[in-house]
Amino acid sequence: MEIRVIVAGAAGVLAVISSAAFAEADLGAARELAPSVAGLMAHPRVRFGYAEEGGAAPSVDVVDADPARLTPLSQRAMIEPLVEQVAQTYGLESALLHAVIHVESSYDPNAVSKQGAQGLMQLMPGTARRYAVADAFDPEQNLHGGARYLRDLLDIFHNDLRLVLAAYNAGEYAVIRNGYRVPPLKQTLAYVSRVLQLYRHNVRAEMRAP
C-alpha cells in the first residue's frame, strides 16, 4: 500500500504527500521512515486514504488544515514538494532553501516581522516588487521571489554563502559597503551562523537518506 496525505485549506489543496510503499498496518514504519509524513500523521485534523501502488486514485478524506495549528515539521512537509521544484528551477540546493525558510519564518507562510518582511522567506515589500511577487503570503510566489533573490546574490558574491546570507539579511549594499565582508552587525552575524548550521545539517541528512 502507498500512504497518501492530502491537505486542503481555504484556497484548495495545499499539498499531496506520499510516503514510500508501506503495508497498511505498518504505520509505525511509516512514522519512522517518513518523518515529513509523520508530522502530518500526528495532526488530529489530517486523515488518510490508501491506494494500491500503481492503482486507482486513493480514497481520501480531505480536511481543512489550519496553518496556525500545524507544527514547523508539518508545515515543512506541506511545502516540501514545492521547495524541491523551486530549487531546481533556479539551480539552488533545497537544503539551502529549507535552512533560510526555517530561520526566516519557521515555515509560517503568514509570518510578518517587525520590519515588515512577509511570508515564508520574509520578503520586504521592495524585494517583493523587485521580483514581481504580487502576494507575499502566497507560498509559491514567496518561494519563487526568495529563490530568485538568493540566485542573484549567489551570482553577485560568487557563491560565497557567508556573504550571500549576510546580504539576504542586511541587504547586498551593506555587504558591498563593508568591503565585501559580512557586516559586523550582531543580528546578521547570528543569522549567518544559524542558517549555515541548518544548511549543513540538511546536507548531512540528505546524504544519509536512502
List active site positions.
104
Q: Determine how β-strand 63-64 pairs with β-strand 2-9.
A: parallel
* Cα separation, 52 vs 161, whole angstroms: 44
* Cα separation, 44 vs 151, whole angstroms: 38
* Cα separation, 117 vs 57, whole angstroms: 40
Q: Determine how β-strand 12-21 pairs with β-strand 2-9.
A: antiparallel
Place of cell 515539521: 73
Helix crossing, 94-105 with 139-156: angle to 10°?
110
Measured CA distances, 57 to 4, 37, 65, 109 (Å) = 10, 19, 21, 29
If one counts every other C-beta atom within 10 angstroms of the C-beta of residue 74, the result is: 23
